Amino acid sequence: MKKFKDLSTQTRKDFPLFCKKIDQANNLIYLDHAATSQKPIQVIEALQQYYSFQNANVHRGAHQLSAKATQAFEEARQITAKFINSKSSNEIVFTRNATEAINLVAYSWGNSQVKEKDEILVTLMEHHSNIVPWQLLAERTGCTLRYIGLTETGELDLEDLRKKVNKKTKLVTLLHISNTLGTCNPIEEITKVAHSVGALVLLDACQSLAHKKVDVKSLNIDFLAGSSHKICGPTGCGFLWGRESILEKMPPFLGGGEMIQDVSLLESSWADLPFKFEAGTPAIGEAIGMARAITYLESIGLENISSYEKNLTDYLFQKLTAIEGITILGPPPNQNINRGALATFYVKGIHSNDISELLDSSNICIRSGHHCCQPLHKYYGIESTARASLSFTSTKEEIDLFSEELLSSIDFIKRNS
C-alpha cells in the first residue's frame, strides 16, 4: 500500500468537481459518497462518446450504428459480470437502479414462488428499497415478514437469525454494508444458515461494490442488486445478478418490446436470458458509462481502495469521538471489524438538518435525515442523524476541516438555541 495520501492524489485529478474552485478561499468538500459517488472524466467521456458517435438502439437494427451500440452495450454486460465474478454475462440483467433490481425479484420470483405462510427474513438495518418491495409481496401473497435484530454495537444478531430461520423461510434479503450503521455483514456465514433450510439469499451490494471486492461465487448468494451511481457511474442504471438456474425459471417482470421471442394476438413467448427481463429500450449510454466506471475502479484496485478507506475511517472516528456530545451509530472501526467508510452521528437536542446546513455554508457536503432507514432510526429512538461518508478521493485534510467546522456548528447552535 502506498503512503496515506497517495490514493487521493492519484485520483482527484480525474474528477472535475474536485478540480474546480468554489471561490478563492474554499474548495468543495464532498462527504456524501454513500448517497451518490462523483463521476470521473473517463465516465463522462464514455457517455459523450456513445451519444456523439454510437447513438442507436441495440439488438434491433441491422445498420452499423446499431451494431456498434450493441457491441458496446454487451461488452458492458461482460465487464459487469466479470466485476462480481459471475460465471456468465447471461446472469446480468440491466435495470434502472438497484431498487428496480430488488423489485424484479420480489415480483417475478416472489409472485411465482412465495405463498401464504411462507416467510421472508429482512434485517432492521435495511434501506427502504429492501423493505417496501417485500411488504408489497406480503400484501399480495399473505407471506410473513420477519426482522432480524441487532446487537448493542449495531451488528447483525446472528443468534436471532438462527432462531428465526426455519423450513418456512423462502428468502433472506439483506444489505452487505449498512448505509447508516456502516456494519459489514458476514454474508458467507448468513448464506450457510439460509441454505441449510433451502432459503435463497438476496444481497443489496450498493454500499460495498465501490469499496471492496464482491465475489458472488465465494459469497455463495443467489441474487445481488447493484447500482451504477454508487460506483462512479451514471444515474438511471443498475443491475441484477441472479443464478442462471433461478432466472431461467422466473417469469418476466415487465412486458413489451425486446423481451419477446414471438408475439401473436393471443399469446407471446419470451426471449432468452437476460433479455427476458429487459423490456423496452434500455439505458444504453448509462450501462456503457457504468462499465467504464467499473474499469476505472479496477485500475485503482479494490484492495487498495478498501485499505485506504479503512485508514481514513479510523481517522474520521478519532476526530468525531473527540467532540463532546456526539453519539455515533454502529460498530467502531478496529482490527476485528470490517466496516463501511462512513460515520453516522447525532447530537442530542440538535437537528441533523441544522448541522448539515451550517456545514454547507462552509462548502462541506454531508447527509442528514433518516437516510431511507426509518425503521432503524425508530429502533434507536431518534428521528434523524447526520452522516459523513468517504471514498478513495477523500483526504485527511478534508476530515480535519470537516471536524473543525462541525465543532464550530455545534457550538453556534447551542449558543443560539
**Angle, vertex CA 13, rays to CA 6 and CA 214, nearest 5:** 65
**Average pLDDT, integer, range 288-304:** 97
**Residue written as cell 447527509?**
367
Is residue 319 assigned to a domain?
A: yes
Alpha carbon distance 169, 194 (integer Å): 8
Q: What is the pLDDT of residue 23?
A: 54
**Residue closest to 212 by CA, chosen among 298, 142, 270, 126:** 298
Alpha carbon distance 87, 102 (integer Å): 21
Q: Both 283 and 313 in a single domain?
A: no
Cα radius of gyration rounded to whole Å, the chain: 22
**Average pLDDT, integer, range 80-91:** 98
387-404 tens-digit pLDDT: 999 999 999 999 999 999
Q: What is the pLDDT of residue 212?
A: 96
67-84 tens-digit pLDDT: 999 999 999 999 999 999
112-153 tens-digit pLDDT: 999 999 999 999 999 999 999 999 999 999 999 999 999 999
Q: What is the pLDDT of residue 3?
A: 41
Q: What is the pLDDT of residue 268?
A: 84
Is residue 1 assigned to a domain?
A: no
Residue 380 contacts residue 329 (beta carbons within 8 Å): yes
240-269 tens-digit pLDDT: 999 999 999 999 999 888 888 888 898 888
Q: Both 31 and 55 in a single domain?
A: no
C-alpha cell recorded at residue 72: 458496446
pLDDT score of 332 more than 80: yes
Alpha carbon distance 215, 118 (integer Å): 29
Phi first, then psi: what are they for 38, rounded to 5°? -75, 165
Task: List CB contacts of 158: < 8 A, sequence separation 6 or more.
Answer: 186, 189, 190, 193
Q: Both 133 and 200 in a single domain?
A: yes
DSSP strand pairing (268-270 vs 260-263) = antiparallel
Q: Both 29 and 129 in a single domain?
A: no
Q: Both 117 and 223 in a single domain?
A: yes
Q: Both 265 and 345 in a single domain?
A: no
Q: What is the pLDDT of residue 210?
A: 98
Q: Both 104 and 76 in a single domain?
A: yes
**Angle, vertex CA 273, rays to CA 267 and CA 279, nearest 5:** 55
Q: What is the pLDDT of residue 4?
A: 42
Q: What is the pLDDT of residue 21?
A: 65
Q: Both 13 and 133 in a single domain?
A: no
Is residue 310 assigned to a domain?
A: yes
For residue 153, give its domain range. Answer: 44-298
pLDDT-based confidence at residue 335 (cuts at 50, 70, 90): low
Give the dihedral sign, CA 185/187/188/191: positive
Q: What is the pLDDT of residue 257?
A: 82
Give the dihedral sign, CA 4/341/76/42: negative
Q: What is the pLDDT of residue 5?
A: 47
pTM: 0.95
Residue 86: CATH number of its domain: 3.40.640.10
Is residue 228 assigned to a domain?
A: yes
Which of the following is catalytic: 19, 365, 372, 373?
A: 372
Q: End of a domain among 248, 274, 298?
A: 298
Q: Angle between the 284-300 and 64-83 helix axes, to the nearest 10 degrees?
A: 40
Q: What is the pLDDT of residue 26?
A: 60
Q: How far is CA 36 from CA 30, 39, 176, 358, 366, in A?
A: 10, 9, 17, 21, 11
Q: Both 279 and 172 in a single domain?
A: yes
**Distance from chain centroid for Cα 170:** 23
pLDDT score of 46 more than 70: yes
363-379 tens-digit pLDDT: 999 999 999 999 999 99
Q: Both 255 and 327 in a single domain?
A: no
Q: Both 195 and 53 in a single domain?
A: yes
Alpha carbon distance 197, 170 (integer Å): 9
Strand order in the sheet with 200-204: 92-95, 238-242, 223-227, 200-204, 169-175, 119-123, 144-148
Alpha carbon distance 248, 257 (integer Å): 19
pLDDT-based confidence at residue 334 (cuts at 50, 70, 90): confident
Is residue 111 assigned to a domain?
A: yes
Task: List CB contacts of 168: < 8 A, sequence separation 6 or more.
Answer: 117, 118, 119, 144
**Average pLDDT, integer, range 202-230:** 98
pLDDT score of 96 more than 50: yes
C-alpha cell recorded at residue 359: 456545514
365 is annotated as an active-site residue: no
Task: Report the percent of the chain where pLDDT is more than 90.
Answer: 88
Is residue 377 assigned to a domain?
A: yes
C-alpha cell recorded at residue 156: 447483525
Residue 15: CATH number of its domain: 3.90.1150.10
Q: Both 31 and 71 in a single domain?
A: no
Ramachandran class of 118: left when φ > 0, alpha when ψ lies in -120 to 50, beta otherwise = beta
336-349 tens-digit pLDDT: 678 999 999 999 99
**Average pLDDT, integer, range 316-326:** 97
pLDDT score of 162 more than 60: yes
Q: What is the pLDDT of residue 22?
A: 57
- Which tops the pLDDT comparison, 21 or 192? 192
Phi first, then psi: what are they for 387, rounded to 5°? -140, 130
8-33 tens-digit pLDDT: 999 999 999 998 765 545 689 999 99
pLDDT-based confidence at residue 167 (cuts at 50, 70, 90): very high
Q: End of a domain among 298, 319, 346?
A: 298
Mean pLDDT of the chain: 94
Q: What is the pLDDT of residue 114?
A: 98
Q: End of a domain among 243, 267, 298?
A: 298
**Residue closest to 4 by CA, chosen among 398, 322, 348, 379:** 398
Number of domains in the chain: 2
Task: Report the percent of the chain where pLDDT is more than 70.
Answer: 97
